[in-house]
Amino acid sequence: MTEKPALKLKRLQDLQFRGKRVLARVDYNVPMKGSRIEDDARIRATLPTLEALIAGGAKVVLISHLGRPKGKADPKYTLKPAAEALAKLLKKPVAFAPDCVGPEAEKAVAALKSGGVLLLENLRFHAEEEANDPAFAKALAKHGDLFIQDAFGALHRAHASTAGVTRLLPGAIGFLVQKELEFLDRAIGNPTRPFLAIIGGAKVSDKLLVLDKLLERVDALLIGGGMAYTFLAAQGINIGKSLLEKDQIDAAKAVIEKAYNKKVECLLPADHVAVREIKPDAEIVVTQAMSIPSDLIGVDIGPHTIEFFDEHVAKAKTIFWNGPMGIFEIPAFADGSLAVAKAMAEATKGGATTIVGGGDSLSVLKKAGLADRMSHCSTGGGASLELLEGKVLPGLAALAS
C-alpha cells in the first residue's frame, strides 16, 4: 500500500463547518425491491459523518447515485426511499429535492438551516455525472462551501461528484472513508500474521491484479468460487462442464508459480458440490476428489474443502475475504460461502482482524446474519480491490492537496 502516504488528505475533523453548507458525497446505491430498501447498511455507514456535521452546525447537502438509470430521470431509481430511511436513522427530518441541480435543488439548499439535512435526487439522472462534465460539477459545487467525500464505493470512479467537484470546493474525507483506508492500509499493509486471503467469485480475470498483489503480502491464499475451476484446469485437473476461462489458464499457472516462489501456501478446492444442471432443485453430487466428472458442473466447494478452509481461518490473525465460494444465491449451493462467513465470525471472536471486501461477500454475510461479527466490512468491493491492486483511486487523488 505504498501510494497512500503520498496523498495528503484532509479529514472532516480538520475543517470548520459551523453555519457552512457542506456538500457531502455519500454512497446510497443500496439494493432495492420495488420502492423498498432491502439493505440499509450503506446508509447506516454514513451516520458517524452526518452526526458530526449536524452536531457541528453544518447545513448538510447529500449527493449520491443509485443504480444505472442511463442518464435520464427514472422513478425506479429515485433516492426518495433513502431520504425516508435516513430520517428514521437520524431521528430527524431529512428534506428531499426532486433534482440534484437547477432551480428546485438550489431552492431546497437555500432553505436549509444549521444542523439541517437535505438529500438531492439521483446524480445519474444526468449523463453529465458519469462524463465528469465540468459544467455539471460546477452546478453541484454551487450547493456547498465545503466538500466531504464519504462514498468509498464510488472512489474508483472519476465522475463529476467524485473528481470534478473537488477542483471547485475545499474538501476532506469523512469518517467512513477514513475507516476504510485505516483497515485496508494498517491491517493489510502491516498485518498481524499469519495473514490469510480468501478469494472467490466467478472470474479469474476480475481478480488477477489483486491476487498478484496479495501474494506479496499473505502467508496463505485460499481460492474458491467459479474462478477455482480455471486454476484446477491449469493444473491438468478435469473440471467437467464447470466455468472455465480458457484465456486465463496461463495467468492461473503464473499465480500458482508465484505462490510457490514466495513460499505462500496456495490452496484450491479438494472436493466439490456438483450438479448436471444449475437449478434450485438439482440433484447434488459431492465429488470425492479435486476432479469433476465430465457431465457435471461445479457449483460450490465440498465438505472436505470447507473443513480445511475452516482450519486455516482458525489459525490466521488477519483475514481478508472477497468473493463467494459458490453460487450462493441458490440455497443448496451456499454452504461453502456460509461456512467461510461463520469461520470468520469465530476468528473475530478469537481476536483476529477480519476484513470483508464488499460485493457479494457482504450479501453472504447478510444471509448468514453475521455482518456485525467482522472487524470491518467494506462498503465498496471495486474500490477495495483497486486499493489492494496498488492503484490510486481517482476520488482520493482529486482530493489530495
Please provide the DSSP assignment of 195-260 as one string: EEEEE-SS-STTTHHHHHHHTTT-SEEEE-STHHHHHHHHTT--BTT----GGGHHHHHHHHHHHH
The x, y and z cell numbers of residue 382, run together, are 471495486
Taking residues 53-66, report their average pLDDT: 98
Cell 426532486 belongs to: 98
The x, y and z cell numbers of residue 314, run together, are 482458525
Q: What is the pLDDT of residue 6?
A: 52
Q: Does residue 2 register a pLDDT over 70?
A: no
Measured at the CA of 79, the angle between CA 367 and CA 371, to 5 degrees, comes to 20
* Strand, coil or helix: 162: helix
Residue-wise pLDDT tens digits, 227-245? 999 999 999 999 999 999 9
Residue-range domain boundaries for the chain: 4-175, 191-388
Residue-wise pLDDT tens digits, 137-181? 999 999 999 999 999 989 989 999 999 999 999 999 999 999 999
With cut-offs at 50, 70 and 90, classify the pLDDT of residue 401: low
Residue among 277, 273, 294 at smallest CA distance from 226: 273
Residue-wise pLDDT tens digits, 306-354? 999 999 999 999 999 999 999 999 999 999 999 999 999 999 999 999 9
Q: In whole angstroms, what is the distance from residue 401 CA to residue 281 CA? A: 56
Same fold, 4-175 and 191-388: yes
Classify domain 191-388 at the CATH class level: alpha beta
Q: Which numeric CATH code is attached to 4-175? A: 3.40.50.1260
Q: What is the pLDDT of residue 189?
A: 78
Q: Does residue 86 register a pLDDT over 70?
A: yes
Q: Which residues are catalytic?
A: 42, 203, 359, 382
